[in-house]
Amino acid sequence: MAYLETVASSQCDTLKFEAKVTERRLTLSAMCDNAKAPEINNYLKRLAWLPAAGESNG
């Protein structure tokens, strides 16, 4: 049971960090010139790759 709690806690932490990365990526993109924002956004998405929604890494 303790192992399951550890895994659940780790998954929760992972989701929190993914949300922070996404939030900050969008913040940086919003600070850019409208012509450059898509390019910067794509660069940041490649730099900090996150799994697609529902994608499992196991």
The answer to whether 50 touches 22, Cβ cutoff 8 Å, is yes
Rounded CA-CA distance 9/41 in Å is 30
Output the pLDDT for position 47. 83
Output the pLDDT for position 18. 86
22: Cα separation from own chain's centroid: 4
Output the pLDDT for position 56. 55
pLDDT digits (tens, 9 = 90+) for 41-55: 888 888 877 666 666
pLDDT digits (tens, 9 = 90+) for 2-26: 888 888 888 888 889 888 988 888 8
Mean pLDDT (the chain) is: 82
User: Any idea which residue has 């550890």 for tokens?
Assistant: 6
Predicted TM-score (pTM) of the model is 0.59
